[in-house]
Structure 1
Amino acid sequence: MIIGWSSISYDLISLALSVILLVAYHVYLNYKIGQNPAYTVQAVNVMARTIWVETIMHEGKDILAVQTLRNSTMAATFLASTAVLLIIGVLTLTGRGNEFSDSWHALNMMGGRHTELLLAKLLLMLLDLFVAFFSFSMSIRLYNHVGFMINVPLKRRHKIINPQHVAIHLNRAGKYYSIGMRAYYFLLPQVFWLFGPHFMLAASVGLIFALYQIDRAPKSMRTETV
């Protein structure tokens, strides 16, 4: 079945506007980080992890390192498992979507109602969840590597396993964790898209407002010279 442009134009326009808004927000964040490296919580965490690794390896706090990495690994494991459960749920909906289509489209005044469009929405949700699962899995992998490297004594003076190198691995793990969380956040507009394109656009605006509140570091950190 060929879907006409007119029947899905509102969906495509809303999708394009949502993507543009989210991309523009992250471009703005990168611009602010360029002006102030401590503008976002994520940037501050990169600094904190780097200092933490140097402190742990210089002072030999092995137990503290293991406990902290274990907590991070458990959090990433829980979120990766949640992504798998959500993937199974979305896959179930792909076969039973028609049973819920009437309820989903009750408030859909402008968007398309085609089965193919519904499947496209669910496929985008699956892609988003697979990104989340992959990101959290990579985060767990890197946390495990750091667990071995951070306990190597500095007195061995290894050329590669040093605080700077270990901090790079730990920050990569944190980066993957952040990507996984972003994938979860981006799932919100996609879920609202099931009920109509105008809901997706409204959810995207609301998500940007929420992210703006939680991404910024406390004002005392942002105003401090780094």
Structure 2
Amino acid sequence: MEKQSLLDFLLVPGGLLALVAYHIWLLRQVINHPTTTVIGINSINRRLWVHAMMDHDHDLSRNNNNGVLAVQTLRNNIMASTLLASTAIMLSSVIAVLMTHSTGGYRPSSTLFFGDTGDRMLTIKFFFILVCFIVTFLLNVQSIRYYNHVGILINVPCKNINLNHWTKAEYVGRTLNRGSYFWSLGLRSFYFTLPLFLWVFGPIPMFISSLSLLSLLYFLDVTTPPEIQSSAAAA
């Protein structure tokens, strides 16, 4: 049993540290080199989108059309956040039920599963999965909160307000980016539940899934800067 527990103490922290180290590196890339990441490029384009939606105060017909387009776009984002939040809270309830029935219930066979298969370790595994889903729910709720703020702010005219257009658009753009960041973090916490789920079957599947998830996230997060793409196409 001690050798089996040793696998949990070695492989599980190793897999989690690899994921944490990757996201620290990703955060530095987003801050210092935003055009090399999908998150950074999307953040820049969202700010430009806000300026485009709010840049027609002189043309009432175009301004109304932009207002409808902005609200519909934000509604789609709110629906996506609501779906993730609802799924997370539902799965949290399922995990809570499994935790309460784990003792004396489901116990993996030591001949098929590696690592510690005791009731205490199984409860710890379910607890981490539960925490991950609760964090997902809270992050998506915050995302909905910011999207709702943007839905009102983006249609407020600058006339008769002691605030110039550029300052107002920048504030709305930052608010929209905050909502998107919370949504991205909620989606990341969903990703983190995959290794934690596989941890139920042992530390080896958990470690392998962590490395596989790391490779997938790198493929999804990193992109070639636009200036490099244009020079390569010209060549």
Same fold by TM-score greater than 0.5? yes
The structural deviation recorded for 1:95 is: 2.4
1:98-131 deviation per Cα after TM superposition (whole angstroms, max 9, x unaligned): 433236x55323x111111111111111111111
Partner of 1:194: 200
Map 1:130-145 to 2 at 5 A: 130-145=134-149
Cα RMSD of the aligned pairs, angstroms, is 2.2
- How many residues in Structure 1 have an aligned counterpart in Structure 2? 219
Alpha-carbon distance in 2 for matches of 1:106, 1:52 = 57
124-133 vs 87-96, which moves further: 87-96
Tell whether the 8 Å contact from 2:30 to 2:39 is kept in structure 1 after alignment. no
Distance 1:168 1:75, change over 3 A: same
The equivalent position to 1:13 in structure 2, one of 10, 13, 27, is: 10
Equivalent-residue separation in structure 2 for 1:77 and 1:170 (angstroms): 16
Counterparts of 1:139 and 1:32 in 2: how far apart (Å)?
23
Q: What residue is the counterpart of 2:113 in the other structure?
A: 108
Counterpart check, 1:52 vs 2:49: yes
Rg larger for:
2
Aligned to 2:186: 180
Deviation at 1:40, TM superposition (A): 1.2
> Structure 1 regions of 5+ residues with no counterpart?
none
Shift of 1:151: 0.3
Q: Alignment partner for residue 22 of structure 2, among 22, 25, 50? A: 25
* One of 58, 71, 77 as aligned partner of 2:76: 71
Cα gap change, 1:5 to 1:168, in 2 (>3 Å): farther
**C-alpha separation in 2, matches of 1:132 and 1:187:** 10
CA distance in 1, matches of 2:106, 2:218: 34
* 1:34-76 Cα distance to aligned partner (Å, 9 max, x none): 5532111111111011011111111221001110000000010
CA deviation profile, 1:148-171 (whole Å, cap 9, x unmatched): 110011233443971011111111
Q: In the alignment, is the contact (CA less than 8 A) between 1:77 and 1:136 conserved in 2?
A: yes
Give the letter aligned to residue 53 of structure 1.
V
Judged with a 3 Å threshold, the aligned counterparts in structure 2 of structure 1 residues 224 and 36 are, in CA distance, closer, same or farther, namely: farther
Matched, 1:38 2:43: no
* Structure 1 residues 73-112: aligned runs within 5 Å: 73-97=78-102, 98-102=104-108, 107-109=112-114, 111-112=115-116
Report the CA distance between 1:133 and its aligned residue: 0.1
The separation in 2 between residues aligned to 1:166 and 1:35, in whole angstroms, is: 23
TM-score, scaled relative to structure 2: 0.86
Separation in 1 of the partners of 2:157 and 2:135? 36
* Residues 1:223 and 2:216 aligned together: no
- CA apart distance, 1:88: 1.0
Matched, 1:117 2:114: no
Residue aligned with 2:34, SS: coil
The percentage of aligned residue pairs carrying the same residue is 34
Letter in 2 for 1:58: D
Between the aligned partners of 2:116 and 2:76, the Cα distance in structure 1 is: 45
Cα pair 1:128 1:187 within 8 Å, conserved: yes
Distance 1:71 1:222, change over 3 A: farther
Instruction: Measure how far apart 1:6 and its partner are.
Output: 5.7
Moved more, 94-103 or 131-140: 94-103
Q: CA deviation at 1:14?
A: 1.5
